[in-house]
Structure 1
Amino acid sequence: MSNLLKLVQIGKRELALDDDMYRDMLQQTVGQRSSKNLSQWQLSKVLDHMKALGFKPKPKPAAKTQVRLPECKKILAIWITMRKQGFIKNASDAALDAFVKRMTSQINGGQGIEKLNWLKSEDAYHVLEALKRWHYRVMKEAILAAGGRIPSNDDCTGPAGYGKLAEYYQDFIRK
């Protein structure tokens, strides 16, 4: 079923047209009593007539951020995780895009990239690393504030890296 035909059917329902009224309207508008074999042009004409009768098609809801690069998917995952952990108060797409612009303006000499999905791989990598550093810092502060200790890396030569600290933090907050 074409999108226009779907809209015509929705219009029929929202205008509360019974079957006879609907078929009469079709006959008057395009000279046919069924919408089954109408062309796209005819469906468009029927839809315009329905709009004149008061039908207001609702726009599709805006799609959530669609990301294409693996780095961008990781950025989005960490952003959502930080929101769930309470480190980010405004986790909207606009707030994420503002973060992306701020981080890319630092590496591109003041000219930031406006949207997460506009990033190229190299810029996405820099934004991802900046977000990981931020997340690391706030997890570390939360652990220390709760009286915990920061785990060491696998070689016991320094503090744990991002991945290990993130796992530790998850276990730490469950206790």
Structure 2
Amino acid sequence: MANHIAAIHVLKSKLQLSDSDYRVLIKGITKKESTKDMSDSERQRVRGHMQALAERMGVVKAGQRRPAARSFAAAKSEASPKERKVWALWNQLGRDGVLRNTSATALNAWVERTVHVSALRFANSAQLDTLIEALKVWQQRGAADA
């Protein structure tokens, strides 16, 4: 717990975020205004999001982060309801024969092309809504082609 909080505050400093900007950022990700009020998985999401921002801005080298290895099942169990909806729609497209590859890697590549974040877990609420709607349209298109 303390490691995530410390890392978040280091990233806040490296990103040169004001306290109000920082609060808006974390509230947008977790709906909470303090890291102390967050669960460990929420802190991990905030840390990952801020790390990705720092890498894109060039204030942290891309190879510096060492995320804990998570299994596919663990990643899905820690996901928000919207993330689980994306997973459900993604897997349904695979079952319908619209997608050949329903792996996490394939999903994250599609997420990056669609909403420009490196992985589903870094997507904010609005981006998740965009992904869900895009998958629904894809599903309708696939049903029309069948």
Normalization by structure 2: what TM-score? Answer: 0.48
> Which one scores higher on RCO, CA 8 angstroms, separation ≥ 6?
2
